Amino acid sequence: GCIMNGKLYPLGHIERTEDCYRCDCWEGAMRCCALYFTPVSYDEKKCKFVFNKKRCRYDLVQKDPSQPCPSVSAV
């Protein structure tokens, strides 16, 4: 198998790891892609992103609940 962040995964295709990656594991190698987008453009003064591991995504959270968070760009 393959080890990623201290966890052993079986050989073959892994649909979702604990850290929100989709991977393929071969003997001696592992290739992974993230299942989430990374935020790149948002109002850092009003908002912050918190990673939601259960849903494999970043949630936009208001620092001040009285202020709206504008839309965001992600890659």
| DSSP bridge partners of 13 | 24
**Of residues 53, 63, 9, 64, the one with CA closest to residue 31:** 9
Confidence (pLDDT) at 46 = 83
What average pLDDT does this structure show over 53-68?
82
For the cut 70, the answer to whether the pLDDT of residue 68 exceeds it is: no
pTM greater than 0.85 (yes/no) = no
Q: Which residues contact 58 (CB under 8 A, 6 or more apart)?
A: 36, 37, 38, 39, 49, 50, 51, 52, 74
Position of tokens 């989430």?
36
Q: For the chain, which residues make up each domain, given as ranges?
A: 2-34, 39-69
| pLDDT tens digits along 2-32 | 999 899 999 999 999 999 999 999 998 999 9
